[in-house]
Amino acid sequence: MKDGVLREEAQERVREIGHADIVVGIPSYNNAGTIGHVVETVRMGLARYYPLAKSVIVNADGASTDGTPDLAAPAAAGGTADAPGRPGIRAISTPYQGIPGKGSAVRTILELACDVGASACAVVDADLRSITPEWVGLLIGPVTDSGFDYVAPLYRRHKYDGTITNSVIYPLTRALYGKCVRQPIGGDFGFSGRLARFYLSKRDVWESSVARFGIDVWVTTTAIAEGFRVCQSFLGSKIHDFKDPGVHLATMLYQVVGAAFDLMETYAGVWKRACRSESVQTFGVVRETPIEPVAVNVPGMMERFRLGAQELADLWETILGREIVSFLKKLASLGEKDFFLPDDLWTEIIYRSAVSAHRKVINKEHLLKSLATLYIGRTASFVIETRRDDAAAVEEKIERLCLAFEEKKPFLVKSWEQDKEVSPCTT
The stretch 98-121 carries a mean pLDDT of: 92
The stretch 39-58 carries a mean pLDDT of: 95
The continuous run of DSSP H or E covering 234 comes out as strand 230-237
pLDDT in tens, 217-275: 999 999 999 999 999 999 999 887 655 555 556 678 888 999 999 999 999 999 999 98
The continuous run of DSSP H or E covering 352 comes out as helix 343-359
CA torsion, ordered 379, 380, 386, 388, to nearest 10 deg: 150
**Is residue 117 scored above 90 in pLDDT?**
yes
Q: Annotate 136-157 with DSSP letters as a single string.
A: HHHHHHHHHHH--SEEEEEEE-
- CA distances to 35, 39, 66, 214 from 32, rounded to whole Å, are 6, 11, 6, 24
Q: CATH 3.90.550.10 in the chain, residues?
A: 8-283
Amino acid code (one letter) for 131:
I
Residue 180 confidence (pLDDT): 98
Residue 82 confidence (pLDDT): 45
As beta bridge partners, residue 86 has: 83
Phi, psi of 59 (to 5 degrees): -100, 110
Task: Report the range of poorest mean pLDDT among 111-115, 250-254, 386-390.
Answer: 250-254
pLDDT in tens, 164-211: 999 999 999 999 999 999 999 999 999 999 999 999 999 888 888 777
Residue 243 confidence (pLDDT): 55
Closest CA to 122 of 105, 108, 109: 109
The CA distance from 403 to 396, in Å, is 11
- Share of residues in the chain with pLDDT > 90 (%): 72
Residue 79 confidence (pLDDT): 46
The stretch 308-321 carries a mean pLDDT of: 96
Q: What CATH homologous superfamily does 8-283 map to?
A: Spore Coat Polysaccharide Biosynthesis Protein SpsA; Chain A (3.90.550.10)
Residue 350 confidence (pLDDT): 98
The CA distance from 357 to 4, in Å, is 33
The stretch 5-20 carries a mean pLDDT of: 86
Please give the residue that has the higher pLDDT: either 141 or 237.
141
The continuous run of DSSP H or E covering 382 comes out as helix 364-386
First to last CA, the chain: 50
Residue-averaged pLDDT of the chain: 90
**Is residue 29 scored above 60 in pLDDT?**
yes
Residue 12 confidence (pLDDT): 87
As beta bridge partners, residue 179 has: 278
The CA distance from 151 to 175, in Å, is 19
Residue 1 confidence (pLDDT): 42
Amino acid code (one letter) for 395:
E
Q: Annotate 93-109 with DSSP letters as a single string.
A: EEE--SSSSHHHHHHHH
Pairing relationship of beta strands 120-123 and 189-192 according to DSSP bridges: antiparallel
